[in-house]
Chains A and B, each alone.
Chain A
Amino acid sequence: MTIRTEPMTVNVGPQHPSTHGVFRVRITFDGEDIVEVEPVLGYLHRGTEKLAEERNYVQVVTLTDRLDYTSSMINNQAYCLAVEQLLGIEAPPRGKYLRTLTAELQRIASHLIAVGFFVQELGAFGTPLMYTFRSRERILDLFEMLCGARITVSYMRPGGVFSDTPPDFWPALDQFLADFEGELEEIENLLLSNEILMVRTRGVSPLPRDVAINCSVSGPVLRASGVNWDWRKIAPYDAYDQVDFDVPLGSNGDNYDRFWVRMQEVRQSLRIVRQCIAQIEPGPVRLELPMVLRAEPGAEAYGRVEASKGELGFYLVSDGGVSPYRCKIRSPSLINLTITEHLLLGWKLADMIVSLGSVDINMGEVDR
């Protein structure tokens, strides 16, 4: 006797807790195998690009916080670089160092979330996530000290950062770095060579080098496939040309490599933070600019940074007014989602959420 089978379509999301936000993906299963994948986007669309056209250049900074809310500092940085390019100005050295320092702290915080949730999706409920969140909490605490908010920081301004550090920031940062060394070691010991994690992730959903390049993915996902591409190295912005760091590269581009690259990048970010502390010198942190900025009519600029998830770019066009005529955001999470099919097709149900988690998307940025 043969059992009649037929493929089944399952809607994962938009309110599935493991899809990192309101991400919906329609998946057709044949038994446990995935045969068809269709991502459905747009549940968190807030019209950031349009809103930016109605606000002046400084006010838009507050909108950028809300794109990728796990790495607000880096969003601020990308936008401010674009405006600075548009106006033809440059932040003072201390401002540049403060931006680099906070961006790297934010990268650590963002990668800690990514790693924590990645392991949580493998079934390690709670413990590893709490380990990473404990350290992230300390970083958010530093941000609150620095700029009064933990997530929606709005710390940077075109022409620098809004204000210098409070006096108790530097001792607190030193204390964090001293403690984080041990905490990171604990997380690494727990996860990096964990037998169960290796079995579940090694060789699962590999992304070949050429596919990664063709899909124009960026960030840790691209580097896990072995492509040496990091905007901090290729086109250094702010103080990245003054600091020394390595770009960790994976080899197969499987789930383990994507996880491993993030863990290594945390170490490299720590190196950059230490160098920033050693090199930073007193001085002004912000150019003295008018409150309402104006650029030349017809001027255009593209400011890009290596965000925690990939290349984040702001393309601004000015018509001479007080607000951008057009603001196009190239968000890494959206572009990185183009590999969803390559990752999922042919793999099992149990690996689906893990593979999606290994891309580390943030819906605030995908839908904007």
Chain B
Amino acid sequence: MYGLEMAKGLLVTLTNLAKKPFTTSYPEQRVRQHPRFRGEEFTWYEERCTGCASCAKYCPLGIIKIVTSPSETAPLQGDKYLLETFDIELQRCMFCGLCVEACPYDALFMGSGFEEGQYKRTDLVISIDRLRHAEKHPSTWFRPQLEGMEYRPGASRPLGWREVGRENWQWHQHEKAGMRLGDRNGNRQHTEGEA
């Protein structure tokens, strides 16, 4: 019967009318990002950075520019380089996070912002000064130690450089020990320390 179907259809409409909407109206209401969100406010800890430029080498787009010089003032001579430039060209960044993955000393973190907008493209370049003075809200992406702390980039307090380090740098020790790949038949050649 036509009228019955009509009533059924209207019932669906009425139920959905009473329901809370699935969407939120940004920017009045905001959805909080997950802790691992890869965003634009890169967090950099100068105290941890040695200027090794692993991040610059590993960036698929080559947008990180690092200029260093041997440091005269570092506590251990030759242990650390003095950073002159640390530019991240945000306008070309695709937020893949490989720079963060490459950093062996946990000095670079992704951020949780996503609203960066500028009138000039050159204003999007994050300079070393901006990195220095930014409030440190590191994302937990590729940093399991922060996840262990139940750290929330959006809600928690800023973190200092002493708090963000990784206790055991397992992967990198293996790399140093000279891990070799398996042969073509799929047999992995095991080096020491592997389960």
Do A and B associate with each other? Answer: yes
In whole angstroms, how far apart are the Cα atoms of A294 and B179 in the complex?
12
* Contact between B101 and A166, CB atoms less than 8 A apart: no
In whole angstroms, how far apart are the Cα atoms of A29 and B89 in the complex?
50
Decide if B174 is an interface residue (CB 8 Å cutoff).
yes
Q: Which of B79-87, B117-125, B128-136, B140-148 sits within the interface?
A: B140-148
* Contact between B147 and A166, CB atoms less than 8 A apart: yes
Q: Which of A20-28, A33-41, A141-149, A205-213 sits within the interface?
A: A141-149
For residue B19, give the distance in angstroms from its CB to the closest CB of chain A.
11
Decide if A11 is an interface residue (CB 8 Å cutoff).
no
* Contact between A89 and B22, CB atoms less than 8 A apart: no
Decide if A299 is an interface residue (CB 8 Å cutoff).
yes
Decide if A171 is an interface residue (CB 8 Å cutoff).
no
Decide if A291 is an interface residue (CB 8 Å cutoff).
yes
For residue A158, give the distance in angstroms from its CB to the closest CB of chain B.
10
Contacts between the two chains (Cβ within 8 Å), count = 83
For residue A28, give the distance in angstroms from its CB to the closest CB of chain B.
41
**Chain A: CB-nearest residue to B148:** A167
Answer whether A152 and B94 are a contact pair too, CB < 8 Å, given A59-B60, A88-B185, A134-B22.
yes
* Contact between A148 and B183, CB atoms less than 8 A apart: no
Chain B residues with CB below 8 A from A288, complex form: 170-171, 174-175, 179, 194
Decide if B3 is an interface residue (CB 8 Å cutoff).
no
Decide if B188 is an interface residue (CB 8 Å cutoff).
yes
Chain A residues with CB below 8 A from B34, complex form: 141, 144-145, 148, 166
**Extra 20 A-B pairs, beta carbons < 8 Å, given A59-B60, A166-B34, A288-B170:** A59-B98, A62-B60, A62-B94, A63-B60, A87-B182, A88-B182, A88-B185, A88-B186, A141-B34, A148-B38, A148-B139, A154-B98, A162-B101, A163-B142, A167-B147, A288-B175, A289-B179, A290-B175, A290-B179, A299-B184
A/B interface sample: 5 pairs, CB < 8 A: A88-B187, A144-B36, A149-B95, A152-B96, A288-B174
Report the 9 A-B pairs with minimum CB-CB distance, sorted nearest first.
A148-B38, A59-B60, A148-B36, A62-B96, A145-B34, A148-B141, A288-B174, A88-B184, A88-B186
